[in-house]
Each structure stands twice: as structure tokens, then as C-alpha cells.
Chain A
Amino acid sequence: MMNIPCPFCGSRNEAEFAFGGPVKPDRSDPNTVSEEEWVAYLTQVPNPLGPVQERWWHVKGCGMWLTIWRDTRTHDIVEGPADAE
């Protein structure tokens, strides 16, 4: 079980969090992009072998959605939320 740094609560067990998936690019106005670009945005989820930026929700804690960089090979959190201790 991972130990996830929450900016509000400090390091907490993964069991307190819900996984929010890898961070996708910012959502653009769909009226300004092509159909292909929109489909790519909707369906292509980052899936690297190595560090990936992903969201976790501290649902059984403070309720914060936070972002970490996790190495998918090792579970090492290579970068925590900017304001986590």
C-alpha cells in the first residue's frame, strides 16, 4: 500500500484515496479543435512505463483532489503535490 502525500493532511495510506487516473491534457473548447483531436483527447490516456502524472482523491480524508508523479514500474512517488510537506 502506497503512502501518498496529501498537501492538507500529510502522508496517508493509499486506502484513504480513490484513484483518479492519469492526468490528461487540459480540456480545450471542443468547438475549436478537429474531430480527430477531440477523439484523441477523449480516448488516449497517458500510459508510460515510468513516471506518470496522476490524480488521487483523498476521499476518506480531507476530500482534496491532488496530483502526484508515480513511477509505474516501482510505485515510487518521484514528485508529490507542490505544496505537500
Chain B
Amino acid sequence: MDLDPEGIFRDDSDEDDDNLHEREANKEMVVYLIDASPKMFTPANAAKADEKQETHFHTIVNCITQSLKTQIIGRSRDEVAICFFNTKEKKNLQELAGVYVYNVTEREQLDRPDARLIKEFSCVEDSFMNNIGSRYGITSGSRENTLYNALWVAQALLRKGSVKTVSKRILIFTNEDDPFGGITGAAKADMIRTTIQRAKDAKDLGLSIELLPLSRPDEDFNMSLFYAELIGLEGDEVLQYVPSAGEKLEDMTDQLRKRMMKKRKVKTLSFAITNDVCIEVNTYALIRPTAPGTITWLDSISNLPLKTERSFICNDTGALLQAPQERFQLYNDKAVKFSVRELSDVKRVSSHHLRLLGFKPLDCLKDYHNLSPSTFIYPSDEQIFGSTRVFVALHSSMLRLGRFALAFYGTPTRPRLVALVAQEEVISSSGQDEPPGMHMIYLPYSDDVRYPEEVHLTSGDAPRATDEQIKKASNLLRRIDLKHFSVCRFANPGLQKHYGILEALALGEDEMPDIKDETLPDEEGMARPGVVKAIEEFKAAVFGENYDQEEAEAAAAKGGASKKRKAIADAASQKSAAYDWADLADNGKLKDMTVMDLKTYLTAHGLPVSGKKDAIISRILTHLGK
């Protein structure tokens, strides 16, 4: 198996940036517990009658579908189970009433998501009422406690796998803040007690229970009625827990999506601020290029995976080697040997993870001081108490004084100078847009910076735009303004297409999906008269009035160039005709000819002329059909 075998998503620069890709420490098992009571099917917004009424149930199905799609791309080893409660039908191993474990064929109840699950779950709503059905869960007179049942089923589903290597979670989606509101008296107290005991037992087994409460604009979800106790929140935490019921349901979808992802830290670092003050920070990879999944080689007849065997062969003797432990570098035509240990020692230039060197004003950080995606750092008090306090103080000083910190990040593989830029928290209606903390930006060294702009110096002063031309350009900027532009709103067309195709093929569909390329310019907007006029004016200002005409003439002159190319080809074919190629090839005389002469044949027949002599000869032979 290798990552991105065709090198689709890499360009020339990153050959072995494995350390950029987050190592996924352990896998995760999640049970989605979805409330399916009739309350979930009532419109979520007190919207106008003519609008399409969206329900909380719909929101959740959307959210989970989205999350499954991301998961199958990025974290396909994680396992999920989807489970409804407050249903008419029951389907679970324990035969408990009101709980329905949703699944598709050829899949365990708790298993990795597959194409069919995603496809069928995304339209579960259409057949939900017929196949599964909804009902009120806990009602007076009934002795069933559906929430209790649901927790029990979820806990049973999560029985497999060790808690040490797998993080297990139960996510409850509901808009009912008072599930036991329908009953009273001793029965209520008893039910609450047993349910909370059940949740506590689950937690003792290492499962974490989280709640994703849904609320309406007119009616906030009241955590303190019941759920705070269920998931074990105290004091202030309750307030933070409830997402603000925003104006728009999409915002809530956003918030849910964010909360559904488990925060995974990359590493814990010690950050030495001075010789005495050393704090603890965690790093997170908030931005990393997503590459398409791995490939495996299959036998094309049986479609069974192939086993790859690697062997080391000595180039001089042809002997089979065990994995060689030594490396060498040619230096002054001499092989200098290193042991793996020596190499790792020489790479270790710092004894600290992260060492503060000083501070600089933000404008010292240039646009070209960049090499790879930044890493986010956030303090932690887990091992060193008081780290957060130091970090918060530094963070606020740096923000206020407009400075970034320069530090040395001494990883043993890739020690780098880094800029730590303080990030202020940004909150919008869809929740936290930018988290508070610092971004660690990897800086280039002097040998990493090139000066391409100085390659082509003009002999005199370089032409500069006049004020008039700049004014016209400003006008253009104003016209083609992307208002409310925000990064990372654009889907990666290559990746979308990749997975679109895989999904279609996995499900055996004939139709290839059509993926909209969001990165194309807005043709319509560009064609607006105001925009066209601004472009034309700018063009006239910098290129002159008659530019198109001049270009056409230049193109005609270029025609001359293509004539020239044709002439070369003609000359080559004439020269090439002087030889009897078939004869030469038969007698094995090709290798006696010069490369120049050989190339005349290639040019005359329109073949590529690249490569070494051997390659050229074999190309000629192939073309001759020998």
C-alpha cells in the first residue's frame, strides 16, 4: 500500500512530508443515538407557512450523512452505529422496546461506514414512518423507559474493542430537554434515577456520553432539567454546552458538525519560554491537505489483494541482503558511511521541543515566509500546572503589542524556525470561527528562499505603473470584489470527483457523477457590463488602445516561428531519408550512430526526442515494428 500512488495530489515540492499528515493514534467508535419522537418531526422554525418546513430530524440526518462522508474519506477505520429511540418498531439484540438499530446489508451493527450505508441513510426519512415509525417515548401509564433502553443498547454495541486503544463515544441528538416531563410522582423519580445510573455505569466502562441538544429560536434547550446530570456537567459548563439557537438552521448544522468531530491532538510539546519557565502546550493540525485514500494492488483476475514483498539486492554481487543498516553519501567521489543512529544524532540539534528566541513585529512575517501548513497550539495543564496562565498572558501581550514570537521547533526529523502568531478568538452566529491560541508557522531558512524576481533584471529602471494606471487598476479591484470571501469554502474538485467516481463504482452505478467545480470563476459576474467596462479601461490604460491588433500581428509573426519549426522537421526528414533505417536496425548498427543522427528519425516521424541513447534506439525499433 502506498499513499497517493499516482502523485495526484502532490506537486514537485513535497516528496516525503509524512510528518505533515496527522498520525491517527487510535480509532474511534461512535453510536449515534437519535431521538425519533414526534417532536423531532415538527417544524424546527416558526417559519412562514409557504416556506418548506425543515424538521430537526432532517437536520440530524443531513449532519450525520455529511459526517459519514467525511469519515469514509479521512478516517475510514472508525466504526459507527446508528440507533433511533422512541420508535414504534424495535430492532436490537436485547429486544428492548422503542429502540431501533439502523443498518444495511453486509454490515455489522457497529462497523466501518460503507457506501451503501451512506446512500441509504441519506434517504432514511422517506421510508422512516412506514418502516420504523415514531412515537412518544416515556408516557404516563407505560412502564417503558426508552432513553434507558437506548443507552443500554448503545453500551452493548460498544462492547467490542479495548478502551485503551479505542475511544468510545455515544452521541445523543434530541430536542426534548425534559424526557420525563410526561410522567409524575415516584415513577418519574425512579426512572430518572435508573437512567442516570445507567449513564454512570457506561461512563465507568470508559464510554463518553455527549449530547447534541437542538433548540428552537423561541424555546431554548434547558440542560438543567435533566441532561446536565446525565452527562455529568457542573456549574458553568452547562451554559457553554448549549449551542445558541441561531436564526438559521444551517448555523446549527455547522455547530453540530463541529461538535461531532472529536478533537485530536497531534502532540504534546514543552515550550521553553526562558531557562526556568517551561510550559506545556498541545498541538493540533487544523489544516492539512486531504489526499485521496490509499490504493492496494489487486490481482486483475480474482480481484484479490496482492502481497508486496520487498527485497534488497546488492548491486555489485547480486546477493540478497537483510535490511541494510548503513547509509552512504558520495562525497568528493568517496562513499562516506553513516549508521542510522549517527544520522539521527546529527539531526538532533536542539534539546527542547520549542524554544522561545524573541519577538518581532508582525510585519516582519512576510507572505513568502511559508513552507507547509501551520499547526495550532493550545495550552494544557495536564503535566505542568500553570501552563495555561503563562500562555494566556503571553497571548494577550502579543496581540496587544502586535508581535509574533520567533521560536525554534526542534523535532528530530525536521528542526525548523517557527513564527508563533497569536490568534484572537472569533465568534459568529455559527459558533467559533477561529479558536483562541497560536498558529505555528514554519519559516524557511536562507537556503529555502529563492529570488526569481531578480532573475530577469531590466537593464535600466524597470517600468512602473503611473498613478493613472494604478487608479484604473483600483477601479477594477472595486468592480471584481469578492464580498464576504472566506477561505476554505471551496470544495476540492479533484478530490470530490475522485470519491464521486469511487462511490458510483462501489455501488455499481452506471452514471458517473457530475461534480461542480466551484473553483471556476463566476462567468456571469465577469460578464456584467460594469465589470467588462472596468476591465476594458484598465486594459487600454496598461496595454494601449490597439493591443489586440498588435497581438494579432505578433501571432501572425509567430506563425513564422511555426514555419521555422516545420522547416526543421523537413530538414530532419530529408536527412533521415538518407539512411535505410530498417536495414540499420536489422544489422544492429543503430548503436553505432550518433544521437544527433538518431534524433533525425524521431523528429521526422514526430516522436519524442528525449531520453538516453538506449531509450532512443528502443523507441526507433518500436516505431519500426521490430
| Binding between chains A and B | no
Interface residues of chain A, those whose CB is within 8 Å of chain B, are none
Interface residues of chain B, those whose CB is within 8 Å of chain A, are none
